[in-house]
Amino acid sequence: MAATTVPAPHSASAEKDLLRFITCGSVDDGKSTLIGRLLHDSGLVLDDHMAALERDSKVVGTQGEALDVALLLDGLQAEREQGITIDVAHRYFATDRRTFIVADTPGHEQYTRNMATGASTAQLAVILIDARKGVLIQTRRHSHIVALLGIRHVVVAVNKMDLVGWSADTFAAIEEEYRQFAAGIGLAEVTVIPVSALHGDNVVAAGANSPWYTGPTLLHHLETVVVGDDAAARPLRMWVQTVIRPSLDFRGYAGMISAGTVRPGDRVRVLPSGVETTVARIVTFDGDLPQAVAGQSVTLTLADEVDISRGDLLCAADRPAGVADQFEADIIWMHEQPLLPGRPYLLKHGTRTVSATFGHPKYQVNVNTLEHLAATTLELNEIGVCNVSLDRPVPFDPYREEPETGGFVVIDRLTNVTVGAGLLHFALRRSQNIHWQAVTVDRAARVELNRHGPAIVWFTGLSGSGKSTIANLLEARLHAEGVHTYLLDGDNVRHGLNRDLGFTDADRVENIRRVAEVARLMADAGLVVLVSFISPFRAERRMARERAGDVPFLEVHVDTPLAVAEQRDPKGLYAKARSGELVNFTGVDSPYEAPEAPELRLDTTALTAADAASAVFDRLRADGVV
Amino acid sequence: MSPIPSPGTLTTLERLEAEAIHIIREAVAEAERPVMLYSVGKDSSVMLHLARKAFHPAPIPFPLMHVDTTWKFREMYEFRDATAAALGIDLIVHVNQDCVEQGINPFDHGSAVHTDLWKTEGLKQAIDRYRFDMAFGGARRDEEKSRAKERIFSVRTPQHQWDPKRQRPELWHLYHARHAPGETLRVFPLSNWTELDVWEYVRRQEIPVVPLYFAKPRPVVERHGTLIMVDDDRFPLAAGEQPEMRMVRFRTLGCYPLTGAVESDATTLDEVIDEMRNSTFSERQGRVIDHDQAGSMEKKKQEGYF
């Protein structure tokens, strides 16, 4: 079998085009069997792989003595043993007409993440339906994700037709139901094919069992479908990856063209700066090009000396992208740790990485029904709509118009893991219309009047560690020295500004965000601000430090072992937490992340409160604040 | 490549080339101390060529590193040194001195121990020694099942281990190289290439490759049904065993005692490509190490094999 079909000698990847597609279906739909069948029946399984398949089919196969073609796909050993595909796997095959890259994405509920990943680079999706079961909730889920990621071409393979006796009526009913549903979610190009992956009917060759079906086989459709790639016809977009400067005479901007066509002489606008110039040359290793199109990696030189660096976007001057720092976006959450509104994350968008915070979700989308649900956060594999706020303006297009300038990934700042992905809808009007108000009385003027500089002293530590006691003593000492101060205390702020917040992780993050903002405003007003908050998470303390900007920021770790703090228990809180009366209590059932490099660490088992306060005062003096 | 592609009709090879160049530029822009692992084979030749393209007209902004086992074919060493000299490339050759001292070889210690100590341990040593935080590798996803699931930017723990369950999602063309101190990245620009794509590209771009890929009479002996070339006098011949001159070539290259030759008359690139198109065996079939046990590549990768 494997040796009978051999690619024709003239059909080389140097001449054929490429179709990237994903396959979606759940464990029982026979997805791996379908792809295995495609490869096997098109003669693309090589003899040694075939021998391994025959061997494995007998040992771990699920088809008795028959070949279990699904085993061609399930790659990792652990997955083979469990009989499931747990990650995106890529397959490569070619026929006389086309080359194909298949992203095989797992279908069960907890892996929305993998499907979105596979869908982000696909031009077409194959969705499997079990003929015995018809359109299921999971079919809808797969279709919604396909629609969300903007894949325009869908093939529905109605599998296991042999198990419904090749009933034309069953097929027609499923096709009718799916088409109605697809039209409702904006999937226009839908092809429905009855198949038996196990036996091979209508996968590569037409089956004798379905004389009533006159459409194409799956492979024929994949080989001939026109996936009109209109990217070259859209306005030019190119993210600058790197500046190439071998000598003083050459300065080129290297990148992959995301959309459009470029020729020497074209006017381009550089974003976010907005500067315009003209393309001089399209430089490649193989010589200069008269034009380049979407999908090519090139180096452009420009007619004028302009300041361009990595992360800038080159656009068609007459149809540039937008620039903004606040957006609405779809967010697909991909990590076990839920999205924390207000926590600073990194966002990689094109070749630019910026700091970003997310607002509370406006709603979460039930991917099975498209219903909007209220949500305070997003958990793993949940999709919702949030506002995103960046630390600086970035170039963008709506994802629907230009995926490469409208899609981004979200990165955790501490673990560097990619925790989510986002699709930009539009810029928020407020960010475009509210401008920074310049003021005439500035920091220097206030310092001169106060005769001391501003600072933020951030006390962090367990409940009962002695933060408030030390902060009080320090404030009294500063006051006596004529320093303008203010003490922000965790308990007090929770009675007023933050009384709407509880003690969940999300609320703790928002609690600290507000306090950090207030501390910054007060420091800007010239005060030495003492902040006494448990502030258990590193990420939020880091945010507070970053919000402080160039105001001196002293992180003071009031370091008291849990056992000691619990023994002191001045407010009786540990006792309540241990008895279960109080939940999410730091140190008991909520973590405390100790600072890694605080400016000061006060060991309260060795220092008195007065000594500790003096140590902070001395540090402020040494730093020239007071 | 045709100089003026019409809109929307880039060929598979043009798309793969553009994608690989994008990956190489992105990795270099985000890494602090990048290196390109150079194994002297055809994939390395293509990767090196793509790196030159990515930064043209500037030189390649990172060194190449060959993790040597001292057991490669002699023609590979000649080709490696000639390539580095011709292109003026900064080439690091790392040899695991522990292996040298213990005289580790495939005959006395077996292919598994030999490969683990020379290659896996050697690579870990070299990355630690030069403090590289990112290494390009020429691995392709079509080579082996466990590779089909590996990311293009793949994180390794400070112990150089790969955890298939903790891979970062990669969407669109967004890759990122952020990592904790001690962690390193492997970046695979040829992830989406097939063996045929590599050969088509070698032909299109006239990229030099080691002559061992082309058939010629070479001295071989047959061991367990595999033709092994007797490349130097370290090869222990059995009593009365005589190497036999046969017309052979190699589909992949590694340590000569562990690399099976195939009988072939393909002496030119066109003939090699035609022969491969008609082949009914996969390319790694000639590698002794992959057959040690089922799932063996996944195991090796978790332990730190490239």
Top-confidence residue, A617 or A429: A617
Assess A4–B contact: CB distance below 8 Å, yes or no: no
pLDDT for residue A447 is more than 60? yes
User: Residue A419 belongs to what H/E stretch?
Assistant: strand A418-427
pLDDT recorded at residue A435: 44
Does any domain span residue A328?
yes
Partners of residue A117 in chain B, C-beta under 8 Å: 169-171
Averaged pLDDT for residues A571-576: 88
Top-confidence residue, B261 or A82: B261
Q: Lay out the sheet containing A528-532: strands in order across.
A: A485-489, A528-532, A455-460, A553-559, A600-603
Backbone angles phi, psi at A181, to 5 degrees: -65, -45
Do the Cβ atoms of B55 and A2 come within 8 Å?
no
Averaged pLDDT for residues A456-484: 92
pLDDT recorded at residue A138: 83
Partners of residue A310 in chain B, C-beta under 8 Å: 29
Mean pLDDT, chain B, rounded, equals 87
pLDDT recorded at residue A570: 85
Averaged pLDDT for residues A375-395: 92
Domain that holds residue A201: 12-224
pLDDT recorded at residue A191: 96
- Are A290 and A405 in a shared domain? no
**Exposed/middle/buried for residue B232 (C-beta within 10 Å: 0-12, 13-18, 19+):** exposed
- Are A220 and A239 in a shared domain? no
Characterise A303 by phi-psi region: left (phi > 0), alpha (psi -120 to 50), beta (else): alpha
Does any domain span residue A109?
yes
Residue keyed to tokens 């899609």: A407
pLDDT recorded at residue B116: 86
Does any domain span residue A435?
no
pLDDT for residue B130 is more than 90? yes
CB nearest B178 (choices: A233, A241, A416): A416
Top-confidence residue, A472 or B3: A472
Could you tell me the sign of the dihedral formed by the alpha carbons of A136, A140, A141, A143, in that order?
positive
- Using one digit for the tens of pLDDT, what is the confidence trace for A265-311? 999 999 999 999 999 999 999 999 999 999 999 999 999 989 999 99
Contact A76, A94 (CB under 8 A): no
pLDDT band at A255 (very low <50, low <70, confident <90, very high): very high
pLDDT for residue B27 is more than 70? yes
Which one of A196, A535, A579, A590 is the catalytic residue?
A535
User: Residue A412 belongs to what H/E stretch?
Assistant: none
Tokens of A151: 């894949």
**Exposed/middle/buried for residue A122 (C-beta within 10 Å: 0-12, 13-18, 19+):** buried
- Are A267 and A180 in a shared domain? no
pLDDT for residue A429 is more than 80? no
Residue of A nearest to B205 (CA): A286
Contact B154, B148 (CB under 8 A): no
Helices and strands (H, E) in chain B, number of each type: 9, 10
CB pairs under 8 A between A and B: 209
A23, A111, A296, A596, best to mutate vs chain B, most B CBs in 10 Å: A296
pLDDT recorded at residue A96: 84
- Are A64 and A106 in a shared domain? yes
Distance from the A585 Cα atom to the nearest Cα atom in chain B, whole angstroms: 29
Does any domain span residue A584?
yes
Residue A246: count other Cβ atoms within 10 Å of its Cβ.
13
- Alpha helices in A21-63, H assignment, sequence order: 31-41, 47-60
pLDDT recorded at residue B1: 40
Assess B281–A contact: CB distance below 8 Å, yes or no: yes
- Using one digit for the tens of pLDDT, what is the confidence trace for A314-323? 999 999 999 9
- Are A37 and A132 in a shared domain? yes
Write down which residue in A208, A224, A240 finishes a domain: A224
Top-confidence residue, A371 or B132: B132
The domain that holds A329 is classified in CATH as 2.40.30.10
Assess A113–B contact: CB distance below 8 Å, yes or no: yes
Backbone angles phi, psi at A295, to 5 degrees: 105, -15
Tokens of A244: 């190439």
Specify which of A308-312, A561-565, A581-585 reaches the highest per-range mean pLDDT: A308-312
pLDDT band at A481 (very low <50, low <70, confident <90, very high): confident
Residue B97: count other Cβ atoms within 10 Å of its Cβ.
10
Q: Is A535 a catalytic site residue?
A: yes
Assess A110–B contact: CB distance below 8 Å, yes or no: no
DSSP B143: G
Tokens of A626: 């007071």
Express as a percent the part of chain B with pLDDT over 90.
Answer: 61
- Are A214 and A256 in a shared domain? no
Residue A148: count other Cβ atoms within 10 Å of its Cβ.
20
Distances, alpha carbon B64 to alpha carbons B50, B67, B132, B182, in Å: 13, 10, 11, 21
B14, B32, B145, B284, best to mutate vs chain A, most A CBs in 10 Å: B145
DSSP B173: T
Distance from the A148 Cα atom to the nearest Cα atom in chain B, whole angstroms: 14
- For B301, residues 6+ apart whose C-beta sits below 8 A from its C-beta are B146, B147, B150, B162
Residue keyed to tokens 């990194």: A346
**Exposed/middle/buried for residue A5 (C-beta within 10 Å: 0-12, 13-18, 19+):** middle
How many degrees, rounded to 5, is the angle at CA A69 between CA A63 and CA A70? 90
Assess B2–A contact: CB distance below 8 Å, yes or no: no
Distances, alpha carbon A149 to alpha carbons A153, A399, B206, in Å: 12, 9, 39
Partners of residue B14 in chain A, C-beta under 8 Å: 295-296
Partners of residue B32 in chain A, C-beta under 8 Å: none
Pairing verdict, β A153-159 and A189-194: parallel
- Are A338 and A463 in a shared domain? no
Calculate the dihedral angle through the C-alpha atoms of A274, A276, A280, A286, rounding to the nearest 10 degrees: 20
* Cis status, amide bond into A272, omega within 30 of 0: yes
- Are A238 and A125 in a shared domain? no
Contact B85, A316 (CB under 8 A): no
Does any domain span residue A329?
yes
A116 closest CA partner among A467, A391, A382: A382
pLDDT band at A366 (very low <50, low <70, confident <90, very high): confident
Contact B57, A246 (CB under 8 A): yes
Cα–Cα dist B50/B48, whole Å: 5
Q: How many domains does chain A have?
A: 4
- Are A365 and A461 in a shared domain? no
Does any domain span residue A434?
no
DSSP A276: E
pLDDT band at A50 (very low <50, low <70, confident <90, very high): low
Averaged pLDDT for residues A585-594: 89
Write down which residue in A224, A245, A271 finishes a domain: A224
- Are A77 and A179 in a shared domain? yes
- Are A98 and A193 in a shared domain? yes
pLDDT for residue B50 is more than 90? yes
Partners of residue A15 in chain B, C-beta under 8 Å: 11
- Are A302 and A334 in a shared domain? no
Does any domain span residue A342?
yes
pLDDT recorded at residue A377: 93
pLDDT for residue A10 is more than 50? no
Cα–Cα dist A494/B225, whole Å: 78
Calculate the dihedral angle through the C-alpha atoms of A207, A212, A218, A219, rounding to the nearest 10 degrees: 60
Least confident of A329-333, A429-433, A601-605: A429-433
Does any domain span residue A526?
yes
Distance from the A410 Cα atom to the nearest Cα atom in chain B, whole angstroms: 10
The domain that holds A165 is classified in CATH as 3.40.50.300
- For B113, residues 6+ apart whose C-beta sits below 8 A from its C-beta are B104
pLDDT recorded at residue A416: 92
- Residue ranges of A 287-306 with Cβ closer than 8 A to chain B: 287, 289-291, 293-297, 299
Tokens of B294: 């089922």
